A and B are shown apart, each in its own frame.
Chain A
Amino acid sequence: MKKLINDPADVVSEALLGFEAAHGDRVRVDHANKVVYRKDAPRPGKVGLVSGGGSGHEPMHGGFVGLGMLDAACAGEVFTSPVPDQMMAATGEVDGGAGVLHIVKNYTGDVMNFEMAAELAADSGTEVVSVVTNDDVAVQDSLYTAGRRGVGVTVLLEKIAGAAAEQGRSLAEVADVARKVNDNGRSMGMALTSCTVPAAGKPTFDLAEDEMELGIGIHGEPGRQRLPLAPAKDVAALLVEPVLSDLPFRSGDAVVAFVNGMGGTPLIELYLMYHEVRQLLDRAGVSVARSLVGSYITSLEMAGCSVTLLKADDDLLRLWDAPVNTPGLRWGV
């Protein structure tokens, strides 16, 4: 294992120290609870947005805390869900009187811990609504699995629901916007290499030099199939086609197109992939209203990418365009 770390046990807490030092203008960090807060939280009258999950997916979620996005992000150990104490602390802290939305990726641990936190928060008088993202089309049969995983759509949802909350919409309205994003978004990812969890010290899985894993999740959990390595245009088709056919997206639909890097893939390759994705969408008659290219929901140093498409109406696009000022996403300010 070659990593820029001191001790595997201290990776999350030391990264949070650096995160606060770098972005102290916009965030503050509760180091005891490992929660990143928007610096001016709670905002009176605004719905509070709390998300969180295992660490190792940076900039998600801590990097999305700030104006127009999240009010708090709970950091778990690498690839391990945070615990209800963290979520309860965050929920109480960001409640500005308008209630709190929990944004949860559909992974068993995250769902259970947020569920317990929501039950306990309800006992203490804070109104909490949870929205679970499950956009990963690689998981085909939800009946025999823990269901589709929450992946790329989570980034788009945090941006759009964050803007809705910033506008002063009610908890029910913000939750409706969030559900609409999840219902209209689909993703598919692939990996060229594995990643190494610091505490494990060795790669999560083995992938030969001439192989790729299609349909991967964001923790190196296995995908749909292992295939021979292929040119980018073929990989793009393998990602875009199952996404298009699942919703399904139809000719004439306007979308937000998001090509995401898994952490170890350079931007030059992501732009190359975006070009391939764009050609496939053109051919399908799907028009790209907005685009996002970069590494936003990652899997440590895994090389690979994911494609997320979100069918967007005017309201979602206006919310997408609204000002955002976070360490990970910033425009309009």
Chain B
Amino acid sequence: MTDVESLTRWLRDYASVVHENAGLLTELDAAIGDADHGVNMDRGMTAVVAALEIRFDTPDALLKKAGMTLVSTVGGASGPLYGTFFLRFGTALAGVTSIGTEDLGKALRAGVEGIVARGKAVLGDKTMYDAWAPALEAYDAAAADGTGPAIAAAAEAAAKGRDSTIPLVARKGRASYLGERSAGHQDPGATSTALLLDSAARTLP
């Protein structure tokens, strides 16, 4: 069962992963965006870790706090997108303390629906959604085996989704102004999403 403890582990782990990969994320962003994704995500996740000093009784309180913190500290497009993800993810878990595989999958999907509502991206736009969409599908396909295998499958699919962004021409965000020149570059948002799910596979349930 996933609970406040394991979710807290996940957020802490992701913060250190983002810190280690801040340079990579910024470098990817410099090629097709505005060279601040790593710096912004690192600032946001550092603030999330600081917010974890308070003990949270329920998953939804924890995740909503993480979401609000990201919205307040990241800026750019990734702040509202990741912030909305955690807010909707948390809202979907209201009243649940011990999260089963199916509930976790539904809540992740609610979070991703929040990203889509906010960013209006579709598959193939060269955004973080290209990592999220296959991850949700893989999670559901493996859900019968339990949370561990499901989240591992999701992480693997997210990594493939991240790689699939390389040849794509961006249709959303600042990269879209590059047109054909955006092809050949890995999307920084899909990269930070693949890192988030990889971190989840190591820390959940």
Contact = CB atoms under 8 A, between A and B. Distances in A.
A79 to B, nearest CB: 6
Contacts of A267: none
Contact of B75 (A81, A115, A217): A81
B174 interface: yes
Interface string B166-205: 0001011110111101000000000000000000000000
A131 interface: no
A139 B170 CA distance: 14
A217 B177 contact: yes
A109 B75 contact: yes
A199 B36 contact: yes
Nearest to A219: B34
B176 A109 contact: no
Given A139-B177, A144-B179, A146-B177, A112 B172 contact: no
- The residue in A107, A146, A199 that gathers the most chain B C-beta atoms within 10 A of its C-beta is A146
B81 interface: yes
A93 interface: no
A144 B176 contact: yes
B72 interface: yes
B34 A113 contact: no
A115 B114 CA distance: 13
Interface string B147-178: 00000000000000000000001011110111
Nearest to A88: B72
A108 B79 contact: no
Interface string A126-144: 0000000000000100001
Is the contact region of chain A dominated by helix, strand, or loop, or is it mixed?
A: loop
Contacts of A83: 71-75, 79
Interface string A89-130: 000000000000000000111001101100000000000000
Interface residues of B, number: 30
A80 B181 contact: no
Interface string B98-141: 00000000000000000000110000000000000000000000
Given A144-B179, A146-B172, A217-B177, A113 B79 contact: yes
- The size bracket of the interface on A is 20 to 34
Contacts of B72: 83-85
Interface in B62-110: 71-77, 79-81, 83-84
Nearest to A145: B176
A199 B178 CA distance: 23
B101 to A, nearest CB: 31
Contacts of A144: 169, 171, 176, 179
Contact of A221 (B34, B39, B40, B81): B34
A62 interface: no
B75 A112 contact: no
A112 B35 contact: no
Contacts of B35: 197, 200, 204
Interface in A62-96: 76-77, 79-85
Nearest to B119: A112
- The residue in A80, A109, A204, A221 that gathers the most chain B C-beta atoms within 10 A of its C-beta is A109
B71 A116 contact: yes
A146 B176 CA distance: 6
Contacts of B34: 79-80, 197, 204, 219, 221
Interface string A207-249: 0000000000101011000000000000000000000000000
A115 B174 contact: no
Given A79-B36, A108-B174, A109-B79, 16 more contacts: A77-B75, A80-B34, A80-B75, A81-B79, A83-B73, A85-B72, A108-B172, A109-B76, A113-B80, A115-B118, A116-B71, A144-B176, A145-B179, A221-B34, A222-B178, A222-B181
Interface of A: 76-77, 79-85, 107-109, 112-113, 115-116, 139, 144-146, 149, 197, 199-200, 204, 217, 219, 221-222
12 contacts: A81-B79, A82-B75, A83-B73, A108-B172, A108-B174, A116-B80, A116-B84, A139-B177, A146-B173, A197-B34, A199-B39, A217-B177
